[in-house]
Amino acid sequence: MNAMRLVAGIDLGGTAINYTFLDEAGHFRIEGLCEHPARSVDGPEVCLTQIADGLDAAARQAGIDLGQVVAVGLDTPGPASAKGVLSSRGSTNFIHPDWAGFDIRGGVERRLGRPCVYLNDGNAAALWGHVSLFGSDNRATSLSAIIGTGLGGGVIVDGHVVTGRLGFGGELGHVLIPFHSIPGIGDITPACNCGRIGDLESLCSLTAIRRTLLPHFLAKTPGHRLAGLDPAEAAKRVRGLAADGDPMCRAIFQVQARALGLFFDEMINVFDPDALIVGGGAIEASHDFRGWFLDEIRAGMPSQRSEQAGIPLHVIPDGDTAGARGAALEAARVARS
Ligand SMILES: [Zn+2]
Closest to 166 in 3D by CA, of 80, 74, 86, 77 = 80
List CB contacts of 15: < 8 A, sequence separation 6 or more: 37, 38, 40
Cα of 212 to ligand 1 centre, how many Å? 13
8 Å CB contact between 250 and 293: no
pTM for the whole structure: 0.94
Phi, psi of 177 (to 5 degrees): -125, 155
Q: pLDDT tens, position by position, for the chain (337 residues)? A: 456 899 999 999 999 999 999 999 999 999 899 999 999 999 999 999 999 999 999 999 999 999 999 999 999 998 899 999 999 887 778 989 999 999 999 999 999 999 999 999 999 999 999 999 999 889 999 999 999 999 999 999 999 999 998 888 899 999 999 999 999 898 999 999 999 999 999 999 999 999 999 999 999 999 999 999 999 999 999 999 999 999 999 999 999 999 999 999 999 999 999 999 999 988 888 899 999 999 999 999 988 778 778 899 999 988 899 999 999 999 999 988 7
Cα of 271 to ligand 1 centre, how many Å? 21
Cα of 196 to ligand 1 centre, how many Å? 5
List CB contacts of 125: < 8 A, sequence separation 6 or more: 144, 146, 152, 153, 154, 279, 316, 319, 322, 323, 326
Cα of 192 to ligand 1 centre, how many Å? 4
Rounded to whole angstroms, how far apart are CA atoms 267 and 142? 10
Strand partners, 36: 17
pLDDT computed for residue 2 by the predictor: 52
pLDDT computed for residue 79 by the predictor: 85
Cα of 146 to ligand 1 centre, how many Å? 14
pLDDT computed for residue 336 by the predictor: 84
* Rg, the chain, Cα only: 20
Cα of 29 to ligand 1 centre, how many Å? 37
Q: Is 95 helix (H, G, I), strand (E, B) or coil?
A: coil
Strand partners, 176: 199
Cα of 191 to ligand 1 centre, how many Å? 8
pLDDT > 70 in the chain, percent = 99
Q: Is 326 helix (H, G, I), strand (E, B) or coil?
A: helix
Interhelix angle for 104-112 vs 44-62, to 10°?
50
> Model confidence over 270-321: pLDDT tens digits?
999 999 999 998 888 889 999 999 999 999 998 877 877 889 999 998 889 9
> Model confidence over 142-187: pLDDT tens digits?
999 999 999 999 999 999 999 998 888 899 999 999 999 999 898 9
pLDDT computed for residue 1 by the predictor: 43
Going across the sheet that includes 6-12, the strands are 35-37, 16-23, 6-12, 69-76, 116-120
